[in-house]
């Protein structure tokens, strides 16, 4: 794992409609709108924050975690909306012994159902597997969080099992968690399949 690709300098990532970049003080109002909504964290181990100053302090916490090389939080910015902050996607628990990392994500309620989470996950999956040389990416999902499961499955993750009453989540107590995983080998096979399909389509119509 080339962890310096993540923590030497904050990486800004791009996709067709999104930019994933560092959250700054100038984004405080959009960040507060996310954390102030209880619905956003219904299935997350995060307690909503209803105080602007508390959320403002969290930006410093993001920086502290990044400096400690323990976690990176990208802001998800929608390019067409003048780079409006619409969510957060993070990578954490970098295990260099087995080249594994855990991801998580959450969006502002107004941005649900638009494919933004799927595109953001696809973007960091590509970065982590191709540039950071991670071998395994995993995500923990509460069993009732169907939208999040769909995002992972769409990006090639496999459901690997259910951990019963195995984790203590803030605001939720002891919870069951489903584990979804994606290996670099799975990703390479998927990419190869996409390329073959593209070649087949071209040969059929050209």
What rounded mean pLDDT belongs to the chain? 91
Q: Encode pLDDT of 71-103 as tens digits.
A: 999 999 999 888 899 999 999 999 999 999 999
What pLDDT score was predicted for residue 71?
Answer: 97
3-state SS class at 196: helix
What residues contact 40, with CB distance under 8 A and at least 6 apart?
34, 48, 106, 107, 108, 109
DSSP at 128: I
Residue 122 CB partners (closer than 8 Å, separation 6+): 15, 155
188 or 128: whose pLDDT is higher?
A: 128
pTM for this one? 0.90
How many distinct helices (H) and strands (E) make up the chain?
6, 8
Which is nearest to 134 in space by CA: 34, 3, 25? 3
User: Cα separation of 45 and 145, whole Å?
Assistant: 12
């Amino acid at each position: 794992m080339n962890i310096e690709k993540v923590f030497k300098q904050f990486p800004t990532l791009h996709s067709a409609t999104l930019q994933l970049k560092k959250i700054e003080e100038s984004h405080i109002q959009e960040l507060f709108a996310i954390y102030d909504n209880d619905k956003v964290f219904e299935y997350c181990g995060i307690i909503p924050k209803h105080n602007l100053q508390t959320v403002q302090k969290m930006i410093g916490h993001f920086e502290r975690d990044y400096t400690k090389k323990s976690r990176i939080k990208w802001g998800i910015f929608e390019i067409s909306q003048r780079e409006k902050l619409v969510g957060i996607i993070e990578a954490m628990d970098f295990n260099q012994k087995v080249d594994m990392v855990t991801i998580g994500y959450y969006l502002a309620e107004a941005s649900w159902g638009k494919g933004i989470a799927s595109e953001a996950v696809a973007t960091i999956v590509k970065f982590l597997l191709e540039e950071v040389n991670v071998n395994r990416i995993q995500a923990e999902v509460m069993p009732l969080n169907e939208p999040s499961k769909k995002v992972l499955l769409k990006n090639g993750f496999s459901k690997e099992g259910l951990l019963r009453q195995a984790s203590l989540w803030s605001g939720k107590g002891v919870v069951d968690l489903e584990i979804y995983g994606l290996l670099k080998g799975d990703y390479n096979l998927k990419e190869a399949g996409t390329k073959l399909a593209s070649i087949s389509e071209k040969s059929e119509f050209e």
